[in-house]
């Protein structure tokens, strides 16, 4: 069995008395796409910065591509690609100049750089604009160029921080397609942070959720969704619904009841069988139902159940 591409044990980062990351353990297999989710301020970006050698841990340890992020940082940097949310692109350079310079940083010969640029041009997909200044690029063009820059040296592990934030649906779909291609065709390990839960659901083999500096859940998207119930009955009510919890939790087949403002979410084993008993139980205690919907859980439901909030923004 091959060693994990990313392996962290008790990873911790303190800033004075403030604990940004508290003892995170995680292991990402070689060739896996790992989605890393967390609400604002949870420690998501701090974890990524430690794994990419941009920040020194104050506790624990981590190895990426077989090397320690603290004692072998240079070796790690040679083997990883990093595309952060805020692309560090020189607006005075052309796209071609930026990719060529990136290749020089990694000691690639001129012939190697020319060959690699030819391979990356389809990914950038900006036509003649590759020879225009980056200052003239749209947000989507800059995002694709930054991804190409992270791939110049053909890294073993690719870290993508919010890779599609701010992109239009067409550009986002193109980035998704390229992420899948890098993984399936090249076997590249990808560590992905995202604020789009449907993105993690569509791309990630496994997902980790960090909240209040601690990794609180981990698993495949399917397993995480199953963990909160096979089906969800979502009820919008008229007026107060505080009494709904006690009335519904005792019904057969009910796993969990969450009260979210004027919305009651009931996790059940069999939604079709539970709808009628749920509606009757609410009617019996005088709660008027405005709307009732049966659906399967999403990663947003998982996230809300575990952290108590919807995902949005960087962390």
pLDDT for 141: 86
pLDDT exceeds cutoff 50 at 314 = no
How many Å from the N-terminal Cα to the C-terminal Cα in the chain? 33
Mean residue pLDDT across the chain? 91
CB 5 within 8 A of CB 156: yes
**Cα–Cα dist 65/79, whole Å:** 7
State the pLDDT at residue 40: 78
- Considering Cα of 124, then 127, then 128, then 133, what sign does the dihedral take? negative
In the numeric block, which tokens belong to residue 107? Answer: 């000691």
Give pLDDT tens digits for 158-193: 999 988 887 888 888 888 888 998 999 889 999 999
Q: Residue 1 pLDDT > 90, yes or no?
A: no
Q: What is the mean pLDDT of residues 29-44?
A: 92
273's torsion region: left (phi>0), alpha (psi -120 to 50) or beta? alpha
d(CA 2, CA 286): 60
Angle between helices 95-105 and 139-151 (to 10 degrees): 20
Is 90 exceeded by the pLDDT of residue 248? yes
Q: What percent of the chain has pLDDT over 90?
A: 64
How high is the pLDDT of residue 315?
A: 42
What does the domain layout of the chain look like in residue ranges?
Answer: 6-219, 229-296
Report yes or no: 235 and 291 within 8 Å, Cβ to Cβ.
yes
Contacts of residue 15, Cβ cutoff 8 Å, sequence gap at least 6: none
The Cα–Cα gap between 273 and 269 comes to 9
**In terms of pLDDT, which residue wins out, 262 or 299?**
299
3-state secondary structure of 52: coil
- Cross-strand bridge partners of residue 235: 264, 292
What does CATH list as the number for 229-296?
3.30.70.100
127 pLDDT more than 50 = yes
Quote the pLDDT of residue 31. Answer: 96
How many residues can be counted in the chain?
A: 315
Supply the pLDDT for residue 41: 84
Three-state DSSP state, 304: helix
Whether pLDDT at 229 is above 80 = no
Same CATH topology for 6-219 and 229-296? no
Residue 214 forms beta bridges with which residues? 211
The CA–CA distances, whole Å, from 261 to 5, 240, 275 equal: 43, 9, 20
How far apart, in whole angstroms, are the C-alpha atoms of residue 23 and residue 80?
A: 23
CATH assignment of 6-219, given 3.30.460.80, 3.40.605.10, 3.40.50.300, 3.50.50.60?
3.40.50.300
């Amino acid at each position: 069995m091959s060693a994990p591409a990313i392996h962290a044990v008790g990873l911790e980062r303190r800033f004075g008395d403030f604990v940004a990351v508290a003892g995170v353990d995680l292991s990402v297999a070689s060739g896996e796409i790992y989605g890393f989710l967390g609400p604002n301020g949870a420690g998501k970006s701090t974890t990524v910065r430690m794994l990419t050698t941009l920040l020194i841990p104050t506790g624990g340890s981590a190895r990426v591509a077989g090397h320690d992020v603290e004692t072998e940082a240079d070796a790690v940097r040679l083997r990883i690609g990093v595309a952060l949310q805020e692309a560090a692109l020189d607006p005075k350079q052309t796209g071609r100049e930026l990719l060529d310079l990136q290749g020089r940083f990694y000691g690639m010969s001129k012939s190697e750089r020319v060959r690699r640029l030819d391979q990356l041009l389809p990914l950038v997909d900006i036509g003649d604009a590759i020879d225009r200044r980056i200052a003239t690029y749209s947000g989507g063009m800059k995002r694709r160029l930054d991804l190409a820059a992270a791939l110049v040296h053909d890294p073993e592990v690719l870290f993508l921080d919010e890779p599609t934030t701010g992109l239009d649906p067409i550009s986002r779909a193109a980035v998704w397609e390229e992420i899948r291609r890098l993984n399936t065709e090249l076997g590249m390990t990808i560590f992905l942070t995202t604020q789009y839960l449907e993105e993690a659901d569509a791309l990630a083999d496994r997902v980790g959720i960090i909240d209040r500096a601690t990794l609180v859940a981990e698993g495949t998207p399917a397993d995480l969704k199953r963990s909160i119930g096979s089906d969800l009955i979502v009820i919008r009510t008229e007026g107060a619904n505080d009494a709904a919890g006690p009335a519904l939790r005792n019904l057969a087949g009910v796993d969990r009841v969450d009260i979210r403002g004027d919305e009651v979410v009931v996790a059940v084993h069999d939604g079709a069988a539970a709808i009628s008993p749920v509606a009757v139980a609410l009617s019996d205690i005088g709660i008027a139902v405005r709307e009732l919907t049966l659906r399967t859980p999403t990663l947003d439901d998982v996230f809300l159940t575990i952290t108590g909030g919807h995902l949005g923004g960087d962390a």
